[in-house]
Amino acid sequence: MEAAMGLMRRMPPRHSETALSALLSLLPHNSSDLLSQVDLPLQVLSDDDSGKRFILCEYNRDADSYRSPWSNKYHPRLEDAPYPSSKLRQLEIEANDIFTVYCDQYYEGGISSVYMWEDDNEGFVACFLKDGSKTGQGRRGYLEEGTWDAIHVIEVGPEEETTRYCLTSTVMLSLTTDDVSSGTFSLSGSIRRQMNMNLPVADGHLCNMGKMIEEMEGKLRNSLDQVYFGKTREMVCTLRPPSEVLPMRLPDS
Amino acid sequence: MAEEEETELSDDQKKGIAKWFLVNAPAGEIQYVSKDLKLVLNDDDVYNEAASEAFPVYNKSHLISLKMPGGFGDVLVTSYGELQDNEYLDPKTAQVAIVDHVKQACTKVRPATDEELPSAYVEEYRCALEAEILKYVAEAYPKGSSSVYCTNGKDVEEPGSDFDLVVVIAAARLSPQNFCNGSWRTIWNIEFKDDIQKLELNGKLLVGAHYFEEGNVQLDTKHECRDSTMFQSPDDTAISVANLIRRHETAYMASLEESYFKLSDNTFKDLRRKLPITRTLFPWRSTRQFSLKREISEELGIGK
């Protein structure tokens, strides 16, 4: 499995889907690990009932159907599928509503979804997802596109006065420009970070989780800036230091 | 969770997948990919077959540079210099390197035969150009390699016919301990057109970088350009071609910097605000759940 994850870290991000399918076919026994640990660009579906869109991921999937956080129904319809308990479902509904507002405030657009389910340790797991892209068009023939997809998975420990929250966040960022005069330029990929906190349950799960996510996203934004624009650019400048004017040679004649 | 039937992959399918992983490894990382791949594949025969087919493709596309035994310096592994499956001409020293692709090493060296080298007429141009390019590469790239090959018309003995040269420049920076690798490759095809006494240049520039600490971020850029210049004496032509290449590559470097700046300043900042418009953090409340949304909406002044 470690080798498989190693391969995923090296393959070009635009080929992640192909790489994952290849790994799934080579390691069918590890499929559930692979599917839950590898992040692919997010996809969305429309809810039949409300027309609202929701994000597809491993955490709302059963067989080939996906559960909508708005109607709590599987698309396409499925018998005997797992659902969160009604108490958890209430929390999930609230989380979806609030997370939508949060995303609007920070991202001014995009789609969000939250899924929760009970885990084996008397706690539960919540997954907050955000999908969105922006396209800009400058002068004729110049296209700029950016996509920011975020996945935050929080494992919440059994409810005690101070409860343990383990957050794993992945941001998949892709920035590309395609210009007739300067060719194609693509910076894409993902970074992942973790954060664990013990917080008073009296403050409310949503409040605790929300604050953690907000803090993490702020840190990630800085890391992304450093890595995408700092490190890769540093590498390019190391390969060929930008120089003002390299000496031009004149013909001897 | 999924109870799918286990369809066993055929050896051919496994080989195809293995080749795909190897060929798509970023610059300088094929050996790491091959280690992980062997574990995942768990089938040495299939792996070896795949490697023998994939490594040459990877090596040629990444323009890798190998040290030749006997103090002849380095040879570039490229399709332009390929004489046979594992024999690569180094025009600089007129030696042919015998290469083990999977080990990525040069095992032997032999002198090139007359048939493998260009005619004296073409060689004058090739050699003069190579000398200028070597000077340019030494100035512009801290660790660059280059070669100039004749790709067409190598037997042309005198003026009156066309011939083609290709300039290959490759620089790689490998820093696995810093989780960062990068490569710069440029290929300039030059057509010497005798009838119109002009040279047509077609350049392809490819830059890549890979950062993989707690993630996987890759830069992938490509640019093509054209230019032309007069067909002159070997020395004058060499100088003018090298100047052209220098100018275009420097301009490309500047445009890369500009792309970085634009993306960072515009697109990235637009994707996520540092803070909401309220200029405060989101008002998560420490109250019980159910009225949370109403309270927040009120606080943010959102109508409902």
Chain B residues with CB under 8 Å of A239 CB are 141-142, 171-173, 182-184, 207
Mean pLDDT of chain B: 88
Q: How far is B105 from chain A (nearest CA, A)?
A: 23
CB B21 within 8 A of CB A7: yes
pLDDT tens for B50-91 read: 999 999 999 999 999 999 998 889 999 999 999 988 999 999
At B302, the pLDDT band (50, 70, 90 cuts) reads low
Above pLDDT 70, what percent of chain A?
A: 92
Residue with the larger pLDDT of the pair B129 and B2: B129
Mean pLDDT of chain A: 86
The pLDDT of residue B97 is above 90: yes
- Tokens read off for A235: 């590498």
Q: What is the pLDDT of residue B167?
A: 95
Q: What is the pLDDT of residue B295?
A: 61
A182: left (phi over 0), alpha (psi -120 to 50) or beta: alpha
For chain A, domains (ranges, CATH) are 1-38 (no CATH), 84-239 (3.90.1150.210)
pLDDT tens for B197-213 read: 999 999 999 999 999 98
B99 - beta bridge partners?
B106
Q: Is A118 on the interface with B (CB under 8 A)?
A: no
**Do the chains contact at B289 and A243, CB–CB below 8 Å?**
no
CB A201 within 8 A of CB A162: yes
Q: Is A109 on the interface with B (CB under 8 A)?
A: no
Kindly list the distances between the CA atom of residue B67 and the CA atoms of A32, A183, B52, B74, B95, in Å, as whole numbers in the listed order.
Answer: 45, 33, 20, 4, 12
The pLDDT of residue A118 is above 80: yes
Q: Which of A191, A210, A229 comes nearest B215 by C-beta?
A: A191
The pLDDT of residue B266 is above 90: no
Q: What is the pLDDT of residue B5?
A: 44
Most confident of A158-162, B174-178, B235-239: B235-239
The pLDDT of residue A203 is above 70: yes
Which DSSP helix (H) or strand (E) runs through B242? helix B234-262
Q: What is the pLDDT of residue A81?
A: 87
Q: Provide Rg for chain B, Cα atoms.
A: 27
Chain B residues with CB under 8 Å of A17 CB are none
Searching chain A, which residue's CA lies closest to the CA of residue B39?
A: A3
B165 - beta bridge partners?
B150, B190
- Residue linked to tokens 């820093």: B175
CA distance A152 to A171: 9
Q: How far is A16 from chain B (nearest CA, A)?
A: 11
Residue with the larger pLDDT of the pair B149 and B154: B149
Residue with the larger pLDDT of the pair A15 and B300: A15
Residues 56-85 of A with CB under 8 A from B: 62-63
Q: What is the pLDDT of residue B293?
A: 59
* ipTM for this prediction: 0.84
Tell me the DSSP string of B100-159.
ETTTTEEEEEEEPPGGGSPPHHHHHHHHHHHHHHHHHHHHH-TTEEEEEEEEE-TT--ST
Residue of A172, A240, A253 best to disrupt the B interface, most CBs of B under 10 A = A240
Q: What is the pLDDT of residue B291?
A: 52
CA distance A18 to B216: 16
- Tokens read off for B120: 């004296």
B220 - beta bridge partners?
A186, B208
Q: Which of B182, B236, B287 comes nearest A251 by C-beta?
A: B236
Please, where are the H alpha helices in A129-188?
none
Least confident of A5-19, A188-202, B30-44, B280-294: B280-294
Region B4-14: mean pLDDT is 73
- Tokens read off for A195: 């954060």
Q: What is the pLDDT of residue A245?
A: 46
CA distance B75 to A172: 39
CA distance B235 to A249: 11
A172 - beta bridge partners?
A149, A190
Q: Which of A106, A203, A224 comes nearest B286 by C-beta?
A: A203
Other C-beta atoms lying within 10 Å of the C-beta of residue B276: 18
**By C-alpha distance, which of B16, B215, B34 is closest to A3?**
B34
CB A230 within 8 A of CB B264: no
Specify the CATH architecture of the domain B63-117.
2-Layer Sandwich (3.30)
At B2, the pLDDT band (50, 70, 90 cuts) reads very low
Query: Which pTM was predicted?
Result: 0.86
Q: How many CA atoms lie within 13 A of A2 on its CB side?
A: 2
Searching chain B, which residue's CA lies closest to the CA of residue A182?
A: B223
Ranges in chain B annotated CATH 3.30.1140.60: 9-61, 63-117
**By C-alpha distance, which of A36, A223, A139, A94 is closest to B291?**
A94
Ranges in chain B annotated CATH 3.90.1150.210: 118-268
Q: Provide Rg for chain A, Cα atoms.
A: 22
Q: Which fold has domain B9-61?
A: Ribosomal protein S3 C-terminal domain (3.30.1140)
**Do the chains contact at A8 and B216, CB–CB below 8 Å?**
yes
CB pairs under 8 A between A and B: 286
Residue with the larger pLDDT of the pair A212 and B288: A212
Searching chain B, which residue's CA lies closest to the CA of residue A98?
A: B293
At A179, the pLDDT band (50, 70, 90 cuts) reads confident
CA distance B75 to B240: 25
Is the bond leading into A76 cis (omega within 30 degrees of zero)? yes
Other C-beta atoms lying within 10 Å of the C-beta of residue B256: 23
Q: What is the pLDDT of residue B274?
A: 84
Residues 146-205 of A with CB under 8 A from B: 146-148, 173, 175, 177, 181-193, 202-205
At A105, the pLDDT band (50, 70, 90 cuts) reads confident
CB A178 within 8 A of CB A143: yes
Residue with the larger pLDDT of the pair B264 and B241: B241
Mention the CATH class of domain B118-268: alpha beta
Q: What is the pLDDT of residue B288?
A: 43
Q: Which of B14, B180, B263 comes nearest A187 by C-beta?
A: B263
Searching chain B, which residue's CA lies closest to the CA of residue A191?
A: B215
Region B98-105: mean pLDDT is 94
Q: What is the pLDDT of residue B294?
A: 60
